[in-house]
Structure 1
Amino acid sequence: MLNPDRRLFLKGTALIGCSAAAHPLMSSMTFAALPGDNRLVVIILRGAMDGLDVIQPYGDPALRQLRRKLATGPDRGALDLDGFYALHPGLAPLMPLWKNGELAFAHAVSTPYRDKRSHFDGQDVLEAGTGNDLPVDRRVGGWLNRLLLATPGATAETAYSVGVEQMKILSGEAAHLSWAPRASLDLSAQAQLLLEHVYQADPLFRDAARDAIQIGAESMDMTRTQGPTADATALGAFTASRLNGESRIAAFSIAGWDTHANQEVVLGRALDRLAAAILALRDGLGANWGRTTVLAMTEFGRTVRENGSGGTDHGTGGALIMAGGAIRGGRAYGEWPGLGEGQLYAGRDLMPTRDIRAYAGWAMQGLFGIERDRLERAVFPGLELGEDPGILA
């Protein structure tokens, strides 16, 4: 575990560099305890996952007309699920879960966020769960935090605090603690010289900077040795260890889903990490996997048409991936809107047919017994849950 000086340095240097909204090193997790044996894991997929590529509706004839270069369908490497949908080969390690009824998905889902297509704003709306565009810190925390406030007997569970990013989904009044795996500080030689110059007059930060750079080098060596999914496996394994104790709710993020260009490669890498995290959860939870629901959610989907760079741009409707022994899996949920002329949102995006918050709400109702009225008023203010989709076994 990092000492406080190194932790302070890493938090400070997190402000240097590219956008945190989709940065692959900005992964943290939060935990909370609830009475009962059921468990909920929420994975935020930062960067806007292309649900049409991950869960390919190859049975819709318009798909290949709109995506001539991006591979779609079983005859192009995807794994058939039900004769209409096919699974991206990057999630092939999860096919045994599908066959065992422990993997499912809902297509054409979204938050109420529309048209602005900002990663930061979209993620804020997703994690706040209130259905408007105000920053999360001006709301009553994130929706998992409001779940804790609405649940008698919820307590904070002891965890480590060495993260470089706060999960806004659990921010708020209810007590919770956080942990994050080793942060990789991979700096160029010029950047290292700059930091040494900046901190030269302060021995505390100078030494902490030197130590942090060394930790970053060691982390990069670990990734090269154990493979690009090592961090995701660590996230899943540590989450399982806490859920086997007092924790009942966990949230963490996996970045790398922004596929404006070279989508085949970029998306494949992200899916490798997601599959590794879910399998590490299953393996680590053991018998408790049967009482666990995993919801993997993204801020918005991507355009139906591919672009000229071998990718897709920011869109609207997307997909929700669900896993766990508590899921009624092996099936698709939701109403498919179609991809034909007149069926797209704004003539460019998959039309959302259900609010993604409704699936989360019904999961919480089934797992923790939260009343529908409380879900619609306190946890997801203003949401109409609608009919129970029956996602829990």
Structure 2
Amino acid sequence: MATRRFVLKSGLAAACSVAAHPLMSTVTFAAAPGDHRLVVIILRGAMDGLDVLQPYGDPALAALRPSLSPGPDGGALDLDGFFALHASLGDLMPLWAAGELAFVPAVSTPYRDKRSHFDGQDLLEAGTGEDVPLAMQRSGWLNRALQGMPGARAETAYAIGTGDMLLLSGPAPAMSWSPDARLRLSPQAERLLGDIYHDDPLFRNAAGSAIEIVSGGGSDARGPTAVADFAASRLNGEARIAAFSLTGWDTHARQAQVLRPALSRLSASILALRSGLGPNWSKTTVLAMTEFGRTARENGSGGTDHGTGGALLMAGGAIRGGRVIGNWPGLGEGQLYADRDLMPVRDVRAYAAWALAGLFGQDRGRLEAEVFPGLDMGADPGMLS
């Protein structure tokens, strides 16, 4: 007998509209010793760090982006006189003022030039470079970190939908869960699914019971926070590490319109974590990471293409926030990577490694050799309070 669970797991994943739904992303948990919490949010689709964290103080920005990343004059929120925050993250400004929000510009994984979302995301979650054994690329850096934590164990959880994230895949015990949700689809998406399932009454009837059609479309109202709410509830218990993903960051065209809802979901997720964790927020670090950045120049469609250097967002009561961390490479002539992208100045894995070292006492030698093979962590960025 077909059930909603079976449909969500098998049939609906075939449709782009459904695959992009925020509730189709699995959240994974693991228990770890100590009282600190770590939440890793994977931003799938290559978030444009230059639009999220706008370097309006760089004189080259305006020529590269005549209609994007306008800075405070275009409604962005000034942070420090050089960088401004995209207006759609405005609800996070109280966290910035409280020292619970920070950004790192010009970071990337070792991935270069091929610009594949799938490969870039795999390397981000594996935590490796491209020159390590394939077997290591098939496990996640959070799982390898758990393998070095005495007393780490899995928390009982549930899985539905997309299955485990690579980030926590591997021998260390970790479980998966994602919420059972009704999908609210636009009429266009309804017609797409109707075409897909027209000749299969089993899927056609089951899909009809699983989907709530809403004129005008849009995500389920619980979408932006359902996963974060559940993560907070588990992190208030035995779990100490949670990881989930948010989609919608691929902005090749109409970036101004496409980026707004993605940023709103990210903002809502972070605020839901803060609210749900209550006193435990003070012991929490959130890292929001993406597979690569986007081109420094906007394209002819009002968007940006796949690039290299991007931005890392940090939040939580355990960070030393209210600041932009790291160096700025510049956007002028001779300063771009391959004359097209923001130049990465530090490996984004270093910040994840320093988080693991500070929160869970992970040994630097093991972090550089096993958790993030080939990484040079460099100097302590002082990201934790």
- Alignment TM-score > 0.5, same fold: yes
Is 2:211 the counterpart of 1:216?
A: yes
Which residue of structure 2 lines up, in the alignment, with residue 57 of structure 1?
A: 55
Distance in 1 between residues matched to 2:134 and 2:274, nearest whole Å: 31
Given that residues 58 and 73 in structure 1 are in contact (C-alpha distance below 8 angstroms), is that contact kept between their aligned partners in structure 2?
Answer: yes
CA contact (8 A) 2:15 2:193 kept: no
Moved beyond 4 Å, runs of 4+: 19-25, 133-138
Q: Given that residues 262 and 310 in structure 1 are in contact (C-alpha distance below 8 angstroms), is that contact kept between their aligned partners in structure 2?
A: yes
Distance in 2, Cα, partners of 1:334 & 1:40: 21
Distance 2:133 2:311 in 1: 24
* Alpha-carbon displacement from aligned partner over 1:162-196 (angstroms, at most 9, x marks no partner): 23243111111111111112353845346336536
Contact kept in structure 1, 2:126 and 2:141, CA below 8 Å? yes
Match of 2:292 among 269, 287, 300: 300
Q: 1:128 aligns with which of 121, 126, 129?
A: 126
Q: Which amino acid in structure 2 is aligned with residue 76 of structure 1? A: G
For residue 340 of structure 2, give the secondary structure of its aligned residue in structure 1: coil
| 2:6 alignment partner in structure 1 | 8
The CA deviation at 1:27 is 1.3
Alignment of 1:1-393 (within 5 A): 5-18=3-16, 24=22, 26-132=24-130, 139-183=137-181, 184=183, 186=185, 188-189=190-191, 191-192=193-194, 194-195=196-197, 197-198=199-200, 200=201, 206=202, 210-217=205-212, 230-393=222-385
Structure 1 Cα separation of the partners of residues 117 and 192 of structure 2: 29
Contact residue 15 and residue 192 of structure 2 kept, 8 A: no
How many pairs are equivalent?
381
Q: Deviations over 1:76-100 (max 9, x none)?
A: 1011100110000000000000000
TM-score (norm 1): 0.91
Match of 1:237, SS state, is: helix
Identity of aligned residues (%): 64
Q: Could you tell me the TM-score, scaled by structure 2's length?
A: 0.92
Aligned with 1:217: secondary structure? strand
Q: Distance in 1 between matches of 2:17 and 2:172?
A: 28
Q: Structure 1 unaligned runs (5+)?
A: 201-205
Once the two structures are superposed, residues 30-62 of structure 1 have per-residue CA deviations (whole angstroms, 9 ceiling, x without a partner) of 000001110000000011000000000111110
Instruction: Quickly say closer, same or farther: Cα 1:329–1:383, change in 2 above 3 A.
Output: same
Counterpart CA distance in 2 for 1:329 and 1:348 is: 30
Call closer, same or farther: CA 1:323–1:190 in 2, change over 3 Å.
Answer: closer
Question: Contact 1:101/1:329 (CA < 8 Å) preserved in 2?
Answer: yes
Change (3 A) 1:142 1:209: farther
Shift of 1:197: 3.1
Say if 1:132 and 1:23 are closer, same or farther in 2 by CA, change over 3 A.
farther
- Contact 2:294–2:305 (CA under 8 A) maintained in structure 1: yes
Secondary structure in 2 matching 1:8 = helix
SS of the residue corresponding to residue 287 of structure 1 reads helix
CA distance in 1, matches of 2:263, 2:132: 31
> Which one-letter code corresponds to 1:283 in the other structure?
S
Report the aligned-residue RMSD: 2.4
User: Aligned in 2, Cα 1:228/1:211: closer, same or farther, shift over 3 Å?
Assistant: closer
Q: Which has the larger displacement, 270-279 or 170-179? A: 170-179
Give, in whole Å, the separation in 1 of the partners of 2:263 and 2:369. Answer: 35
Q: Which deviates the most, 114-123 or 158-167?
A: 158-167
**What is the deviation of 1:357?**
0.2
Deviation track 1:265-315 (CA, whole Å, cap 9, x = no partner) reads 111110000000000000000000000000000000000001111111100
| Compared CA separation, residues 248 and 118, structure 1 to 2 (3 A) | same
Letter aligned with residue 211 of structure 2? G
1:92 maps to a residue whose letter is: G
Amino acid at match of 1:319: A
Instruction: Give 5+ residue unaligned stretches, structure 2.
Output: none
Tell me, in whole angstroms, the C-alpha distance in 2 between the residues paired with 1:368 and 1:21. Answer: 34
Q: Contact conserved, 2:3 with 2:206, CA < 8 A, in 1?
A: no
